[in-house]
Amino acid sequence: MLIVVKFGGTSVGDGPRIRKAAEMIGWLRQQGHQIVVVTSAMSKVTDKLVSLAEKATPEHGGEETWLADSLPLVRKLERDHLEAAEQALYNGQLEGVRNLLKDEIHGLERVLKGSQLLGEMPRMSYDFLVSEGERLCVPILTACLRELGLSAVGLGGDEAGILTDNNFGCARADEERTRQGVRESLLPLLEKGVIPVVAGFYGRSLKGRPAILGRGGSDYSATLIGSALDCDQIWIMTDVDGIHTADPRLLSEAHTVGEISYEVAAEMALLGAKVLHGKCAAPAARRDIPVRIANTFHPERRGTYLSHQSRPGVTALTSVRQAGLILATSREGVSEQFAVRIVEEKRRKNIDVMLRTSGLNGATLMYLVDQLNLNRFLKVLHRLKDPQMKLSIRRDVAVVGVVGEKLEEIPGLMTTIHRCLDEAHAQPLLFVQGASPHSIVMAFPDQEDLLRRVLVGLHRELGLSLQGVGGGTRNLGCDQNSKS
Ligand code: ADP
Ligand code: ASP
Ligand code: MG
């Protein structure tokens, strides 16, 4: 089989973990598989790069001292990666990797110094800077594979042929051009028995410069590459056993879902389940490529498979904190033209809105937006705002999604949800059903206790706690034809 294997941040979180990831690839090669590796940055590295980049922008201070303040952080990143390389590599490869890491760090410093000269951080430089973590990880993982006797070549996401629009910060891939680019770059390597090790998270923009695919974008890199190569499977190796019935860090009773449709997985991601990037299911779905989400630390466990199955039932709960609820109101009614301009701008800038709904007779537009997209979306609204319109923004909002297949066909579902909310003393700020066949969305004031009561109650009462590991969806004990 040809398998694209993507390692997330924790899977390559330090030297020994990078070594383990390489050993897993070695084992897959021994089984006779052809492999393309996609790697994220070591865990937390992208967060540090983002805060470095933000310090350099005028609205975050952008003071004269920021460069001097930033350089120790750069040195620390360098040390951390050198240390990871020393722990991951046991013989001959270390010197070469040290030099590659130094070159990367040098590039990073040049971008920071350039930004200081300009007095700002251009969007292109921002994307270059925050994608550095992936480029720092690739040489270490590639060298590990070589130490294991495998032939491997490291490539940037741009060099691998992922081609995007110019939406720096959150670019979208041009799948057709990417298909051609990836095939040209990677097929000759695969034919020679070489393992390509690709830096996830970014591609090459139309301007020829790296553009990031949005936070968590390495999943998207993997499915873009997998579908371009018509591979047999795409494996997303992460720190949990697959997609769970709720975020396992929030709800200990959550457990792995054996199979889930591409559409429901995408909906979960859009509603904030961090385990997958929102755009990553679509390229694989279009070419019917199975995507497996599995645990790097227990690769023998089956994990979750994305497929085209569609049995009605509740699959999972999602939750996001610190989201924003925006109301755009106009006594005259928000004009159609204004609504259309928002949609166009949102698309142009690849801003993801969890939910949009409109009030009676179009007098209000309501948006639920997660923290990452909120400020970019507000900028658009402020720029387009017509003078008649009032904008009100509530930032401390928690969003809960009930996600599954053909929810409207599940008898008794709404009654059960409302009973749970009553028992949790939870009064939603917003409740939307019917906008999508895959989800029911609620927003609450963002209070930890309240959110927990809602999640625990829904998880139990919707039957999610009862499923065995490897289960699929839950249909509240009613089949498709039964009446409530
Ligand atoms: P990686 O670095 O491997 O890409 P992420 O942190 O992006 O990993 O995603 C994995 C995390 O997603 C898990 O640690 C888990 O806390 C979180 N998560 C949120 N919702 C879910 C869910 N429904 N199923 C599994 N994991 C989830
Ligand atoms: N390193 C990037 C991030 O943290 C991409 C990824 O992990 O998928 O967002
Ligand atoms: Mg991720």
DSSP 149-169: T--EEEE-TTTTT-BB-S-TT
Q: How far is the CA of 36 from the centre of ligand 2 (A)?
A: 18
**Cα 330 to middle of ligand 1, angstroms:** 40
Instruction: Decide whether any atom of ligand 1 lies within 6 Å of the 8 Cβ.
Output: yes
Residue 82 pLDDT exceeds 60:
yes
Cβ of 33 below 6 Å from ligand 1 = no
Q: Which residue has the higher pLDDT, 451 or 362?
A: 451
User: Which pLDDT belongs to residue 349?
Assistant: 77
pLDDT band (50, 70, 90) for residue 221 = very high
- Tokens 């967060």 sit at which residue? 47
What's the mean pLDDT in 44-58?
86
Our answer on whether the CB atom of 303 is closer than 6 Å to any ligand 1 atom is no
Q: How confident is the model at residue 281 (pLDDT cuts 50, 70, 90)?
A: very high
Classify 277 as helix, strand or coil: coil
Greater confidence, 358 or 477? Answer: 358
Query: What's the CA gap between 359 and 365, in Å, rounded?
Result: 6
Yes or no: say if 455 and 410 are a contact pair by the CB < 8 Å rule: no
Percent over 70 (pLDDT), the chain: 94
State the pLDDT at residue 480: 33
What would the CATH number be for the domain defined by 2-239? 3.40.1160.10
Confidence (pLDDT) at 188: 98
Which helix or strand (DSSP H or E) is residue 126 part of?
helix 123-130
pLDDT number for residue 59: 56
Ligand 1 contact via 216 beta carbon (within 6 Å): yes
Q: Which residue of 10, 275, 403 sits with most ligand 1 atoms within 8 Å of its CB, as the best mutation to test the pocket?
A: 275
pTM attached to this predicted model: 0.92
Nearest bound ligand to CA 277? 3
**457 to each of 56, 251, 461, how far by Cα in Å?**
45, 11, 6
* Ligand 1: centre distance to CA 42 (Å): 15
CATH number belonging to domain 316-466: 3.30.2130.10
Q: Is residue 40 within 6 Å of ligand 2 at its C-beta?
A: yes
Residue nearest to atom 5 of ligand 2 (CA): 216
Task: Write the residue with the smallest CA distance to atom 6 of ligand 2.
Answer: 216
CA distances from 312 to 20, 143, 304, 463, 482 (A): 39, 47, 18, 14, 12
Å from CA of 215 to ligand 2 middle: 5
Sign of CA dihedral 44, 49, 52, 53: negative
Locate the domains of the chain by residue range.
2-239, 316-466
Across the range 385-408, mean pLDDT stands at: 90
Give 51 Cα–ligand 1 centroid separation in angstroms. 22
- Residues in the chain, how many? 484
Cα 172 to Cα 220, 278, 322, 369: the distances in Å are 10, 11, 25, 19
* Pocket test residue of 37, 46, 126, 127 for ligand 2, highest count of atoms within 8 A of CB: 46
pLDDT at residue 60 in the model: 54
Q: Report the separation in Å between the CA atom of 230 and the middle of ligand 1, taken as the mean of its atom positions.
A: 26
User: Which residues, 6+ apart, have CB-to-CB distance to 252 below 8 Å?
Assistant: none
DSSP bridge partners of 20? none
